Amino acid sequence: MPVPGQRTRTESTPVKSIESIYWVFTHNCNLRCAHCYNDSRPGAPTITRAEADAVLSHLPDDANRFILSGGEPLVELDLLLHLVTAGRAKYPPARINVQTNGDLLDRSTLEALIEAGVDSFAIASYDQFHPRPAGKFEGLRELFAAAGVVERPLGDPANQRPGGPDQREVSYNIWGASPELWVGGIWPRGRAMKYGLAQLIPETNFCDRWSGALGFLDEGSSQQEVSIQLTTAYPCCPGTVEPLGDLAEESLASMLDRHRDDPMWAALNRGDPASMGVHAGFDRAAALDRIEALGSVCLWCDEYMTARVRERGERAEELPVQGERRVIPLESIAGR
């Protein structure tokens, strides 16, 4: 008899396309911000080019969006240019986006990235946590304007247009970890948890929105996004205790096929983390109470997955993306 939650390989049609790939290929950064969810800092890990190429070979054949982030991607400029070039070759019509704090961006770097195939830039440092020297954003706007890069605010429909050589407008936007711009509050991960900066809002279901787990299994869905931290794949940007798998070793298609029939992953795919243990006899109403007590659906997901991994006799690794977790015995909320 299999252990509850044991993952088994299933036969199904391979996943050939995905809406969005969000890839944090480095945790190395020129800064050490107090709110950082993946503990990025100077000297933090970066994947090798061999690992990058292995991940690229294991991604689906088609994607509409290819987003490269960190850490600070410009700290690893050679690798970033390699990934942009390879991403453009693999996904000719995709929008390729680089997320950066903007501190290291200059004219030559900007031109090199555009030449390699970047369609859009996100300056993700407009908040109280990143240093904001006088004139920083004015200088960036002048830099982009001189290169013919157009500012497009968040939510502009033009941000959803196809990319590639036939779409010559290159654009940028400026945002950050501020209440009106950040997705779902400061995530309960990394240094945000360590320093008590995470916004614990139990009624905010981050799982049922863009960059959450909603639709991550659904090929053809405009909601579908998979997040990669270095080489490890997750169904959402904040990450999960139990990852989907290691893209240096296994294709994303194989991972998604392997998890598709697992009721826990199916609940996350529906954006309903409170139901992730119903198949195992854990009451959804009790899970909602636990979310209220913890203050976050993410912390409930951490708690449930940690117990599930331990039930299989495996170790729940403390990864930077996971932050700190508070674990209680699952039997205390059992619905039977």
Q: What is the pLDDT of residues 132-165, one digit of tens each?
A: 889 999 999 999 999 999 999 876 666 666 666 6
Q: Please enumerate in sequence order all residues whose Cβ is within 8 A of that of 96, keeping only pairs 6 or more positions apart, or say none.
A: 66, 67, 68, 84, 87, 88, 117, 118, 119, 120, 163
- What is the tens place of the pLDDT at every residue in 111-139? 999 999 999 999 999 888 888 889 999 99
Distance of CA 82 to the CA centre of its chain: 20
What pLDDT shows up at residue 111? 98
Which region, left, alpha or beta, applies to residue 185 given φ > 0 means left and ψ of -120 to 50 means alpha? Answer: left
- What pTM was estimated for this model as a whole? 0.88
Mean pLDDT taken over the chain: 86
CATH entry, 17-182, from 3.40.50.2300, 3.40.50.1980, 1.20.120.80, 3.20.20.70: 3.20.20.70
Q: What is the pLDDT of residues 5-38, one digit of tens each?
A: 333 333 334 568 899 999 999 999 999 998 898 9
Sketch the domain layout of the chain as residue ranges: 17-182
- What percent helix, strand, coil does the chain show, rounded to 5? 35, 15, 50
Per-residue pLDDT band for 41 (boundaries 50, 70, 90) equals very high
Percent of the chain with pLDDT over 90: 65
Q: What is the pLDDT of residues 161-180, one digit of tens each?
A: 666 666 668 999 998 877 55
pLDDT over 90 (residue 210): no
Q: What percent of the chain has pLDDT over 70?
A: 83
Per-residue pLDDT, 320: 53
What is residue 321's predicted lDDT score, i.e. its pLDDT? 55
Strand 232-234 to strand 245-246: parallel, antiparallel, or no bridges (unpaired)?
A: antiparallel
- What mean pLDDT comes out for the span 228-239? 95
